[in-house]
């Protein structure tokens, strides 16, 4: 219930005005009566006639009676006015107390003079608490200024009423929106403002709803703009189509510029697309499709063409089924269409490239097998079919292990062909010592290169295995490697490979000594006795034949782990894996006996040769390889000086002399 502003003040002012008028009239009559009585008394003392006195007395009595009547009437009117004022004030109080909206009386200094329960409850205060505040204290800081400006205008007399919206602060500090409407109460004589009476309505729920609607509309508009979409609304009752501002801007037009004839949009469609769009439109209007959908080109205001995806649906028809209203969306799909065009061109180019690649793979001399991410065979060229012994049609879709099985040439272990680690770009894996095992258990040496296929998203897509028949090349490699490490005449290790083997043993001896294992080996330097006589008498052919026999004899005496080499000419070397010096002496005597016992005849002439041997230890503190060889060579020279056909052990250092054993010839 809204209370008219200032009603109680107006009622009180009217009652007081009537009462004052009646009082003035009675007072005038009473004064007149008193004047007449006074005049009668004075006249009685004068020498007047009886009739004159009688007349004066009658007038005085009449005036007195009239004054008395007016006084009674005045008292009754005052009582009635007081009753009416009390009733008006009571109605005003009840109106304030019972009003569903807030009513506040505010002084010109901003103090709250009186507030009804509705206003106090709205802000969470009691009436006593709210009436101890000023409106500045309970107003939101951002809205205080509008209250000050209104108050200044009321004081200046430029306005007599006001209405506006502002935020108050509840007792807990939370803001609440309210609508204020009120007026100023002024003094009836001077016109000066006395106080303000305001009606205050809680509109916080409405404001929050408006904020939510505005926020939703903002999100909707942003979503439409971000997605390149617009909305159209065809309403036959309004006689046209309206478009969202997002869409008209995308077409280069201003708001409302396209809102016109419902068929106007058809004129903006590319001529080659109009019939397709019209058919889709008719199909939906005839009820053949649940909604309208079409892709077409539409002309931008500046003249270029845009690709549009149009979706819509009829939402209202009349009783005869004629369209009344339809709503739909328009999406700018120009980029998608351009991408599709590029993709079409790329697909054609990819198909050509794939065909060229297929022809290339069919024509090259290398074998090629391709797999997918699950390791299933997807391609084999004819060379791969020939090497694996599996036809391409039979291999497709099979796991790679059913078609291609490669093992390491040295270890015999299968060479795994697996996918790389997740997220890793593994390089191509090359292996030059692989052996392909066919289904019939036949084998061939191959060289393979396995390359993973990684797409642009860094995902594993499969493998490409390229391999070649490497049997002949592998045999040639083995021959070359053997020739590089072995003596061509005797088949023993040559000097360079023997030196490398000694260097490795010396390094290992030092490592073992550091770790406390304490291992060692024995080096043997062998020089043939009387060999020059064979060359001089039988020629180099005889010497070469004899050297081969010597190599066989030495090799036959020693164990499989011992290393035998020809250092050059008639000089041989042996590394005994046994670290025992006593065992080395026994082995040396066995070699001397084997060489001495050779039954060699050339051109019917027998030849007898011998051997002198120097021994040196291979240990952690033996020095470098050349030092060991030098010590053994010196020991061999001492053996020859002692009469040949014997063994001499080199000293541990250069300061002590070698110990030479008695020659076998002397011993016999």
φ, ψ dihedrals at 107, nearest 5°: -75, 165
Give the active site residue among 487, 529, 562, 570: 570
φ, ψ dihedrals at 293, nearest 5°: -150, 130
By CB atoms closer than 10 A (0-12, 13-18, 19+), residue 196 is buried
Quickly tell me which residue has 């993709």 as its tokens: 343
Own/partner pairs for 512-521, CB < 8 Å, 24+ apart?
A: 512/620, 513/619, 513/620, 513/621, 514/620, 519/579, 520/579, 520/617, 520/618, 520/619, 520/620, 521/575, 521/576, 521/577, 521/578, 521/579, 521/617, 521/618, 521/619
Picking from 251, 376, 257, 345, the residue whose alpha carbon sits closest to that of residue 305 is: 251
d(CA 369, CA 386): 12
What's 303's DSSP letter?
A: S
E-assigned strand segments in 318-418: 323-332, 367-372, 377-380, 406-408
DSSP string, 554-591: HHHHS-TTSEEEEEETTEEEEEES---HHHHHHHHHHH
Picking from 503, 468, 476, 460, the residue whose alpha carbon sits closest to that of residue 625 is: 503
DSSP string, 460-524: EEEEEEEEEE-HHHHHHHHHHHHHHHB-TTT-SB-HHHHHHHHHHHHHHHHHHHHHT----EEEE
d(CA 491, CA 478): 14
Structure tokens at 126: 């009691």
d(CA 625, CA 575): 12
Q: What is the C-alpha R_g of the chain?
A: 63
Quickly tell me which residue has 């045999």 as its tokens: 475
The answer to whether residue 527 is catalytic is no
Spatial neighbors of 66 by CB under 8 A, at least 6 apart, are: 29, 33
Q: Are 367 and 466 in contact (CB under 8 A)?
A: yes
CB count, 10 Å around CB of 310?
A: 22
Q: If residue 118 lies in a helix (H) or strand (E), which one and from where to where?
A: helix 117-123
**Residue length of the chain:** 668
Bridge partners of residue 197, in order along the sequence: 105, 183
CA distances from 9 to 13, 103, 114 (A): 6, 15, 14
d(CA 549, CA 595): 9
d(CA 394, CA 380): 10
DSSP SS3 for 621: coil
> Max Cα separation, the chain?
221
d(CA 646, CA 195): 142
Bridge partners of residue 606, in order along the sequence: 601
Give catalytic residues, as residue numbers. 570
């Amino acid at each position: 219930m809204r209370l008219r502003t200032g009603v109680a003040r107006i009622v009180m002012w009217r009652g007081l005005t009537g009462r004052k008028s009646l009082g003035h009239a009675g007072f005038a009559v009473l004064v007149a009566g008193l004047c007449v009585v006074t005049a009668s008394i004075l006249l009685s003392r004068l020498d007047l006639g009886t009739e004159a006195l009688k007349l004066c007395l009658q007038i005085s009595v009449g005036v007195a009676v009239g004054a008395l009547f007016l006084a009674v009437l005045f008292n009754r009117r005052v009582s009635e006015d007081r009753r009416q004022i009390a009733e008006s004030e009571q109605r005003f109080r009840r109106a304030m107390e019972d009003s569903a909206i807030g009513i506040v009386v505010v002084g010109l200094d901003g103090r709250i003079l009186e507030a009804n329960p509705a206003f106090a409850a709205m802000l969470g205060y009691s009436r006593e608490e709210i009436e101890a505040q000023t409106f500045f204290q309970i107003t939101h800081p951002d809205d205080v200024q509008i209250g000050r400006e209104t108050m200044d205008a009321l004081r200046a007399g430029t306005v007599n009423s006001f209405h506006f919206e502002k935020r108050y602060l509840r007792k807990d500090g939370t803001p609440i929106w309210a609508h204020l409407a009120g007026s100023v109460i002024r003094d009836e004589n001077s016109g000066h403002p006395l106080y303000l009476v305001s009606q205050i309505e809680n509109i916080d729920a409405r404001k929050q709803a408006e904020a939510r609607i505005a926020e939703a509309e903002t999100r909707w508009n942003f979503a439409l703009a971000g997605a390149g979409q617009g909305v159209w609304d065809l309403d036959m009752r309004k006689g046209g189509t309206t478009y969202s501002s997002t869409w008209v801007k995308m077409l280069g037009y201003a708001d409302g510029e396209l809102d016109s004839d419902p068929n106007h949009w058809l004129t903006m469609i590319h001529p080659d697309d109009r019939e397709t769009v019209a058919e889709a439109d008719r199909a939906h209007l005839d009820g053949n499709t649940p909604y309208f959908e079409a892709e077409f080109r539409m002309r931008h205001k500046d003249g270029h063409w845009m690709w549009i995806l149009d979706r819509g649906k009829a939402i209202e028809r009349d009783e005869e089924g004629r369209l009344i209203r339809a709503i739909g969306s328009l999406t700018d799909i120009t980029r998608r269409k351009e991408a599709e065009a590029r993709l079409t061109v790329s697909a054609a180019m990819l198909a050509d490239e794939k065909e060229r690649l297929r022809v290339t793979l069919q024509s090259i001399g290398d074998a090629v097998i391709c797999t997918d991410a699950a390791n299933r065979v997807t391609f084999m060229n004819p060379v791969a079919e020939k090497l694996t012994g599996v036809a391409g049609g039979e291999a497709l879709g099979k796991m790679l292990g059913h078609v291609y099985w490669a093992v390491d040439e040295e270890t015999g272990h299968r060479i795994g062909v697996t996918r790389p680690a997740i997220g890793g770009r593994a390089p191509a894996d090359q292996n030059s010592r692989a052996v392909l095992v066919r289904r019939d258990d036949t084998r061939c040496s191959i060289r393979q290169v396995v390359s993973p296929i990684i797409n642009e998203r860094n995902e594993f897509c499969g493998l490409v295995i390229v391999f070649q028949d490497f049997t002949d090349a592998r045999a040639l490699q083995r021959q070359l490697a053997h020739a590089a490490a072995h003596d061509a005449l005797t088949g023993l290790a040559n000097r360079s490979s023997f030196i490398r083997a000694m260097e490795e043993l010396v390094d290992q001896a030092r490592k073992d000594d550091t770790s406390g294992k304490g291992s060692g080996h024995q080096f043997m330097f062998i020089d043939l006795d009387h060999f020059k006589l064979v060359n001089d008498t039988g020629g180099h052919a005889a010497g070469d034949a004899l050297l081969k026999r010597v190599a066989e004899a030495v090799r036959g005496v020693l164990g499989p782990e011992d290393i035998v080499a020809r250092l050059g000419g008639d000089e041989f070397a042996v590394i005994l894996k046994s670290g025992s010096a006593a065992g080395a002496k026994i082995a040396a005597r066995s070699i001397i006996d084997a060489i001495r016992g050779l039954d060699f005849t050339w051109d019917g002439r027998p030849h007898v040769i011998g051997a002198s041997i120097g021994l040196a230890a291979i240990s952690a503190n033996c020095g470098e390889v050349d030092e060991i060889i030098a010590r053994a060579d010196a020991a061999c020279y001492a053996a020859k000086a002692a009469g040949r056909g014997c063994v001499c052990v080199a000293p541990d250092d250069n300061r002590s002399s070698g110990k030479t054993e008695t020659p076998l010839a002397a011993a016999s």
